[in-house]
Structure formats: structure tokens, C-alpha cells
Structure 1
Amino acid sequence: MENVKLFGTSASPYAIRIVWALTMKGVDYKFIHEDLTNKSPELLKYNPVHKKIPVLVHNDVPICESLVMLEYIDETWKDISPLLPKDPLDRAKARFWAKFGDEQVIASFYDCYMKHGKEQEEANVKVLANLEHLEKLLNEKRFFNGESLGFLDLVFGWIADYCSPLEVLTKSKLLNEDSFPNLCAWKNKFLESTPKSENWPDQESLLVRFQKMKESKNEN
């Protein structure tokens, strides 16, 4: 019998992609909410190197780093909703863009969300430049994967899920149809196609959570 646990928080762009992948694959799992100000002994046991979420635990064996988890999930439950393309070159390209997303896109959105004034304006420029790369990558395809949800859609899916709450908080329109028609179309298709999970908050709850995170950061 499979025993699958996912340690995470309900606002992590790295955890949500694992939630989506497990749900798409039909894998039963237990979501364990972590308090990052008071990390559980289990989390520290399963990820002693980085001590971060998310951590996927499959039959008591931990897998860390969300991109690694996505590949593990795809290879372990490979008969349902394949995520990575079969062609080696396409797989290599997907890994490149996934790394770009985690190293560049998330960081630029975070700066846009957390900073103020001129610094926020500079962060906005970086966000829009990164979105332009993704706009060209989509190139009028239905999804990054082609006609169905795949690896890169889950990697970048947090943009679709987080964009509206972040636009409210930053008072900036990041995704508009004139500048990013492909991304806007993808966003709508992604939200319609992604399986819903009881382990993830709705848009209003995300807005409240992000507001609290920003206020907490500004108080420090």
C-alpha cells in the first residue's frame, strides 16, 4: 500500500505544483501543513540539508526539491497523465525553462510583491521581461506542453493561481491581453483544466494570506 505525504505550506509556489501533480496522477496523499517559524521534527528529519518545504515522502523515503519531485512523481506513476515529453531534447528544454522559472521568474515576482516605490518599479520591469520570454515560449500553443497539461505548466502554474491576488496587492497589472495574449489564454485554460484540491486555498484566501505575509515582512 502506497504511503505518500507532502510537507508544505498553503502559499508556496513550490508546494502547489506537487499538489497539482499528485492530484492529476490520482495519488492519495496526506498534506502536512508546516509552520516555517517552528519547523516540525519530521520536516527536519526528512530534509536535514536545506530544512525547507516542500518535501515529498513516499513509503517513508523523502524526496526534496520540487522539480526533482515532479520528475519522481512522473516516473513513479507514469501510466497516468504523463508530465515530461518523451523526446530527450524536449525534456532538456523543459528542464532549462523550469530552472529559469525558479531562479528568475519567482524571484522577480517576489521583489515586485515585497518592495515599494522605485524598487518595486524596477522589479516590475524584470517581471514583464520574464513574462515576455514565457509569452514567446508558449507561441500560441494551448499549454506549454502542447495540447495537454504537462511539466512546465505545473512549474509555471503558480503564475495563473497567484497573479490576480498579487496584482491587487501591488496595484500593478502584470498580465494584460494586449501585451501577453498567449499567457492570458494559457492562464484561463490552466485554471479551468487544473484539478481542484482541498489542500489548496481559493483566490480570496490567497489574497488574505499574501497580505499578512507582506505586513509581517514589513514589520521586521
Structure 2
Amino acid sequence: MRVKIAFEEKGVVGYEVKEENLPHGKSELLLKSNPIYQKVPVLLHNGNPIVESTNIVYYIDEAWPSSPSLLPSCAYGRARARFWADFVDKKVYDAGAAIWGGKGEEIEAAKNEFIEVIKKLEGALGDKDYYGGDTFGFVDIIAIPLTSWFLTYEKLGGFKVEEECPKFAAWMKRCQDRESVAKALPDPEKVHEFVIKLRKMLGIE
């Protein structure tokens, strides 16, 4: 999702998407392109593989420099963007996974941790429209795909992001209204259905 949004925002067209049916094994192309982690996504550009979604978005911004930059122009702004992108990668998914993978009191504790993580992100956003200020950019691209899971976290955890973090919820809506984001994100209801099936498969409920 991050890569697709970045391409759309940079105006890159004519790329080919090849999906992996991961439950049924990994293709030779994937194993060859990302032998270390053997994970998607992988961007193949000029015969070279670029791996890890955040790293790919960095690459896209540099490889297509004539388009509007996704990162701030100043060194401090870029450093700040990299910090918060790293925070999103390290904190948001794991905090959410603890909710959907938990039971009983575990979910309550995970919910509280998740809300604290989102509050920190809300603090970083402040009163700005986007993390880069007035312009949708790098941190927004890194963070917004993870919000497609938020409905699931809310239903399992018994809370509302909008009530806990209204400025962050407004940012989510702002981003989701962008064409690049709307085209890339899955239906949150379908994500919820998938997670419920997954919890049953794993014997969680």
C-alpha cells in the first residue's frame, strides 16, 4: 500500500504489480529478489531489487526527483520525518497486533498501549493538516496504510480512535479522502472479517 501510494503521489505510471499468494508458498522471483527476509514488497527497478516498504518509499522519492518531493527540503525536516516513520514501523503495528491477537485482560492492556502510541503520533501531528505541514508526504504515506486495521482494533478493544485522539482521526479522514490513498487501502470491514477468521484459525476465539 505504501509503495502504491508513493507511486501515485509522484505521478509514476506504467509499473507492473505482481502479487504473491503467500499462504501457498513464495515465488522464485521473491526468494531471489529478497533472500534475506523473503518478504513483500520488493520493488524491481532497472534490474535492481529494493526491499522493505519504508526503504522503497525513500527510494521512489530519490529515483523520481523531478516530481514533488515526499520528504521535507531541510535536513532537520527530513531527520524528523525519518524518526516518526521509524516510530510508526516499530510501534503501531505491534501495538495493534497485541489487540487482535489477545484475549480478555490482554486486550484491555493492549488497547491502552495502542492508544498511548496513537496519542504520541497525535502530538507529533499537532495542529498541522499532515505530518509534513500543509503537504501530504513521507510520514503520512508510512502511517496511513496501517489505519485500515483500526476498525478491527476498535471493535475488539471496545474504543474509538476518534474519541481518544480526535486530531489523529481527522488526519486519517483527510488522508483517506485522497485518491492515491483511497485506491490503495482495503475495505476496513473486510480486514475485520479476515482477522476474525484468523483468530479462529489460531485458536484465539
Q: Which TM-score applies when normalising by structure 2?
A: 0.89
Q: Deviations over 1:163-202 (max 9, x none)?
A: 224423x15224024x312101101101012415766533
Kindly provide the amino acid, as one letter, of the partner of residue 35 in structure 1: N
* CA distance 1:206–1:42, shift in 2 (3 Å): same
- Give unmatched runs, 5+ long, in structure 1: 1-15
Q: Contact 1:54 / 1:65 at 8 angstroms: preserved in 2?
A: yes
Count of residue pairs brought into register by the alignment: 202
Q: For 1:130 and 1:160, how far apart are their aligned partners in 2? A: 13
Kindly provide the amino acid, as one letter, of the partner of residue 161 in structure 2: L
Q: For 1:30 and 1:208, how far apart are their aligned partners in 2? A: 28
After superposition, residues 127-142 of structure 1 pair within 5 angstroms as: 127-142=114-129
Is structure 2 residue 71 aligned with structure 1 residue 84?
yes
* CA distance 1:87–1:148, shift in 2 (3 Å): same
Is structure 2 residue 20 aligned with structure 1 residue 34?
yes
Kindly provide the amino acid, as one letter, of the partner of residue 105 in structure 1: V
Q: For 2:126 and 2:184, how far apart are their aligned partners in 1? A: 32
Task: Give the CA deviation at 1:106.
Answer: 1.2
Kindly provide the amino acid, as one letter, of the partner of residue 195 in structure 2: F
SS of the counterpart of 1:33?
A: coil
Task: Give the CA deviation at 1:146.
Answer: 1.0
Is structure 2 residue 64 aligned with structure 1 residue 68?
no
The structure 1 residue matched to 2:159, chosen from 170, 173, 180, is 173
Alpha-carbon RMSD across the aligned residues, in angstroms, is 1.9
* CA distance 1:92–1:196, shift in 2 (3 Å): closer
Q: Contact 1:19 / 1:197 at 8 angstroms: preserved in 2?
A: no
Q: For 2:137 and 2:194, how far apart are their aligned partners in 1? A: 28
Task: Give the CA deviation at 1:118.
Answer: 1.2
After TM superposition, where is structure 1 displaced by more than 6 Å over at least 4 residues in a row? Answer: none
Q: Contact 1:138 / 1:144 at 8 angstroms: preserved in 2?
A: yes
Q: For 2:180 and 2:165, how far apart are their aligned partners in 1? A: 24
More helix by share: 2
Aligned position for 1:202? 187
Q: Percent identity?
A: 32
Aligned position for 1:104? 91
The structure 1 residue matched to 2:174, chosen from 189, 197, 211, is 189
Q: Deviations over 1:121-148 (max 9, x none)?
A: 1111110110110111110110111112
- Give unmatched runs, 5+ long, in structure 2: none
Aligned position for 1:48? 35
Q: For 2:81 and 2:181, how far apart are their aligned partners in 1? A: 24
* CA distance 1:197–1:129, shift in 2 (3 Å): closer
Q: Which TM-score applies when normalising by structure 1?
A: 0.84
